[in-house]
């Protein structure tokens, strides 16, 4: 635990600043700073996870431009938080180390994701309208978050969740009155909110652009259908909608519509199968395959040598020949090549190819 406690003057000052930030653009920066006072962490960021679209960075105080590009280029499909958010669990406190222990079937990819980007991460997930969750992520390079630290954040979660709801309420109301037409944490998606009498109470700039261009969907054809659902507008775009709760101040019992670009979800191929295909495709020797697997799991040369019962010099020689065969020079390029092969094999199943009306998954 950090030196600051929930009863300290510094924490209470930061709490007051967070309350004042509700509805403001800097709310999520303040939200991240509060728990970071209680925990020792190396970096933090705030992410938006959608049921349909690629994740977006809301606030980034953790990753370089190169790391962001690497993440968005495909490794996000191995992000455990994407898996959690798309499975329907959009609230709570999680750590990557706990997830690796609890979900053994995904442990291989979780190890790969960890070795590519971080050591351990504590994530606080908050649900938001539009089948979205906002994730506050605190990262560490060298040691795991303890059970005591997790319990401290779990005790804080109800208060943080209530402030997040207040922020959403104020932000939507503020966007409506200010004419900014920007929904909180919504990135570039087109959003429309109707009240219970089907009267528009909010249009994001993205939705207004569609209306000006004559590309907005005809909602009259789906209003009498399912209360919540999805409609594929084309191979890469989805319209989804949901009923809002009675506590949603802007439009109690209304309905939210959003249009987003589809992105493939969490990877579905078994890690061992993907590794075997990679080795076969690139004609790797059994020892080269073993080294690739251990690199993917984050093992340095010393650990690889110990596990394979060979010298570190031999490991370096194997890696040199491996990189020459694959026409790469760095570990990052090895990750990228493996991901490219992995995702290419899943393209056929990634995006539905015809428009359809369906209940949400």
Cα–Cα distance, 1 to 341 (Å, whole number): 41
**Are 168 and 205 members of one domain?**
no
State the CATH number of the domain containing residue 39.
3.30.450.80
More confident residue, 142 or 284: 284
Quick check: 104 pLDDT over 70? Answer: no
In a domain, 60, yes or no: yes
Cα–Cα distance, 36 to 28 (Å, whole number): 13
From the number of C-beta atoms within 10 Å of its C-beta (0-12, 13-18, 19+), residue 237 rates as middle
**Are 81 and 165 members of one domain?**
yes
- DSSP class per residue in 55-76: PEEEEEES--HHHHHHHHTTGG
Residues facing residue 140 across a β-bridge: 120
The last residue of a domain, from among 144, 176, 208: 176
**Are 231 and 310 members of one domain?**
no
pLDDT band for position 316 (50/70/90)?
very high
Residue from 352, 341, 347 nearest 276 by CA: 341
In a domain, 170, yes or no: yes
| C-alpha angle 152-158-159 in degrees, rounded to nearest 5 | 90
**Are 71 and 136 members of one domain?**
yes
In a domain, 126, yes or no: yes
In a domain, 353, yes or no: no
Give the relative orientation of helices 286-296 and 301-308 as an angle to the nearest 10 degrees. 130
Quick check: 352 pLDDT over 50? Answer: no
In a domain, 16, yes or no: yes
In a domain, 352, yes or no: no
**Are 47 and 166 members of one domain?**
yes
The last residue of a domain, from among 212, 230, 263: 263
Number of domains in the chain: 3
Greatest Cα pair distance in the chain: 73
* pLDDT value of residue 105: 65
**Are 84 and 150 members of one domain?**
yes
Residues 98, 104, 106, 108, CA torsion sign = positive
For all residues of the chain together, what is the average pLDDT?
83
* pLDDT value of residue 252: 92
Q: How far is CA 159 from CA 21, 24, 113, 337, in A?
A: 15, 18, 30, 43
Cα–Cα distance, 118 to 40 (Å, whole number): 15
**Are 172 and 53 members of one domain?**
yes
Cα–Cα distance, 230 to 157 (Å, whole number): 31
State the CATH number of the domain containing residue 195.
3.30.450
In a domain, 361, yes or no: no
From the number of C-beta atoms within 10 Å of its C-beta (0-12, 13-18, 19+), residue 204 rates as buried
The last residue of a domain, from among 213, 245, 263: 263
- CB within 8 A of 134, min separation 6: which ones? 28, 46, 47, 48, 49, 58, 125, 126, 128, 164, 185
**Are 35 and 82 members of one domain?**
yes
- DSSP class per residue in 276-342: HHHHHHTT--HHHHHHHHHHHTT--HHHHHHHHTS-HHHHHHHHHHHHHHHT--SHHHHHHHHHHHH
State the CATH number of the domain containing residue 292.
1.10.10.10
**Are 122 and 156 members of one domain?**
yes
Residue 56: CA count within 13 A, CB half-sphere: 17
Residue 234's domain comprises 180-263
> Mean of the pLDDT values across residues 278-288?
93
Cα–Cα distance, 265 to 279 (Å, whole number): 24
Quick check: 249 pLDDT over 50? Answer: yes
* pLDDT value of residue 220: 78
pTM: 0.82
Residue from 183, 188, 191, 186 nearest 207 by CA: 191
Backbone torsions φ then ψ of 175, nearest 5 degrees: -65, -35
Residue from 230, 176, 231 nearest 205 by CA: 176
More confident residue, 130 or 180: 130
**Are 28 and 151 members of one domain?**
yes
Residue from 31, 50, 36 nearest 128 by CA: 50
In a domain, 96, yes or no: yes
Quick check: 127 pLDDT over 70? Answer: yes
pLDDT band for position 64 (50/70/90)?
confident
**Are 107 and 171 members of one domain?**
yes
**Are 116 and 66 members of one domain?**
yes
* pLDDT value of residue 358: 39
* pLDDT value of residue 57: 93
């Amino acid at each position: 635990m950090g030196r600051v406690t929930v009863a300290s003057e510094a924490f209470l000052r930061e709490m007051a600043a967070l309350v004042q930030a509700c509805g403001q653009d800097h709310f999520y920066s303040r939200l991240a700073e509060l728990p970071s006072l209680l925990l020792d962490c190396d970096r933090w960021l705030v992410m938006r996870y959608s049921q349909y679209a690629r994740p977006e960075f809301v606030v980034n105080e953790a990753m370089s431009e190169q790391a962001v590009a690497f993440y968005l280029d495909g490794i996000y499909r191995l992000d455990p938080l994407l898996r959690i958010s798309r499975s329907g669990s959009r609230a709570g406190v999680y750590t990557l180390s706990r997830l690796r222990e609890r979900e053994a079937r995904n442990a291989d990819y979780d190890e790969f994701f960890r070795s590519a980007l971080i050591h351990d991460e504590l994530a606080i997930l908050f649900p938001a309208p539009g089948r979205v969750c906002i994730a506050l992520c605190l990262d560490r390079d060298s040691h795991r978050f303890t059970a005591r630290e997790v319990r401290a954040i779990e005790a804080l979660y109800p208060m943080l969740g209530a402030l997040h709801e207040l922020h959403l309420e104020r932000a939507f109301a503020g966007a409506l009155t200010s004419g900014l037409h920007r929904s909180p944490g919504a990135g570039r998606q087109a959003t429309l909110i109707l009240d219970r009498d089907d009267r528009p109470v909010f249009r994001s700039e993205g939705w207004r652009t569609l209306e000006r261009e004559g590309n907005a969907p005809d909602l009259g054809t789906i209003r009498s259908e399912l209360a919540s659902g999805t409609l594929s507008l084309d191979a890469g775009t989805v319209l989804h909608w949901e009923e809002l709760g009675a506590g949603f101040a802007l439009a109690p019992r209304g309905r939210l519509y959003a249009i987003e670009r589809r992105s493939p979800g969490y990877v579905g191929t078994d890690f061992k199968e993907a590794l075997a295909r990679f080795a076969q495709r690139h004609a790797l020797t059994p020892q080269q395959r073993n080294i690739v697997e251990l690199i993917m799991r984050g093992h340095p040369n010393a650990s690889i040598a110990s596990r394979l019962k060979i010298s570190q010099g031999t490991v370096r020689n194997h890696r040199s020949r491996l990189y020459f065969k694959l026409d790469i020079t760095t570990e990052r390029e090895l990750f990228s090549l493996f991901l490219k092969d992995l995702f290419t094999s899943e393209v056929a199943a990634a995006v539905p190819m015809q428009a359809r009306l369906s209940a949400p998954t």
